[in-house]
Amino acid sequence: MVLFGLLLLPILFLLLYFIVRPRPINISIKNRHVFITGGSMGIGLAIAKQAASEGARISLLARSVDQLQKAKESICQAYEVEVSIFSADVRDYDTVERAIKEAGPIDVLVVNHGVYYMEEFETQGLDVMKTMIDVNLMGSFNVIKAALPSMKDRKDKGPASIALMSSMAGQAGIYGFAAYSATKFGLRGLAEALQQELLVNNIHLSIIFPPVTETSGIEQARERMPEITKIILESSPGMKAEEVGKITIQGIKSGSFSIPFRLDGQAVAIATAGLSPQTSFLMASIEVVFAGLFRFVALLLQWRGYEIIEKYNYSHKKQQVE
């Protein structure tokens, strides 16, 4: 049986070579225009600095002019690259469109902006949910729709990229993340559909799935999030924004559709690959051969989450009785 399986592997690899779509691609960053939304701090600024270190021309879009100016100064002090800044709210299509037209044709668009408010679905206000939908999902529609005409008509016909910042909460639902997860799951569907529409224009989609990242935003969110959510998040170490920025740029350059982080992120990405595009023959082979194993690993991660929830609820009820 084992021998039969080994004999089938070369046939599998040959088959994958012909069916993997999009085809493997390398996307250059050097001397190209990288436009980043939510680029004034946190992960967005880390991505900008990584791109600048590789010789890219940088454009940053965010709401705060002061934060944008500080971000520009920090990049220019470290790297000799051109940096442009644009103040706009991604919910306002007209303002976003003006900023993108002023910035000029984009080679790499990183849709990084986002807001998150962690709370149980039943108690979270509809206005808060709507804010997350408007910023995370509709804001992404606005940015991409405004950028597409110039990206499709760019003089440099080399491969271009649109990278969407999702989250591990966009791969698996997490307690207290219901509305936020819905917006991040939506980005995956957007990326999958857009890849089919834009491949003819040599534009390649990436969807980024970082774990909890140590930024000022997550520190503020911890003050308001449910206790169960805090316990779940504390069970997995966070990443530094600089690490996320470096891996993100590496993933974009390699044309990867899915950009996960760490071993647990890789396991979840493989377990949830589904009908997502795959540009790597190696990763396609791993997904096919080890799908069952990584599904088991994913179930273990789910089990750990449910164990935390059950223990907390049992302890909470016990305290109420006492």
Minimal CA–CA distance to 216: which of 53, 55, 41, 14?
Answer: 41
What sign results for the dihedral spanned by CA atoms 255, 258, 264, 267? negative
Distance CA 300, CA 242 (A): 29
Look up residue 94 and give its two tokens. 């007209």
- What end-to-end distance do the CA atoms of the chain give, in Å? 59
Which of the 8 DSSP states describes residue 260?
A: -
Distance CA 169, CA 117 (A): 13
Which amino acid would we find at residue 58? I
C-alpha dihedral, 306 to 127 to 91 to 65, nearest 10°: -90
Q: 244: which residues sit within 8 A by CB, 6+ positions away?
A: 43, 46, 47, 210, 213, 261
DSSP string, 112-147: ---------TTTS-HHHHHHHIIIIIIHHHHHHHHH
Q: What is the DSSP string of 94-117?
A: HHHHHHHHHH---SEEEE------
| CA atoms of 321 and 315, how far apart (whole Å) | 10
Give me the active site residues, please.
Answer: 166, 180, 184
Q: How far apart are CA 196 and CA 203, in angstroms?
A: 10
Sheet order of strands, 33-37 included: 83-87, 57-62, 33-37, 108-111, 160-165, 203-208, 258-259
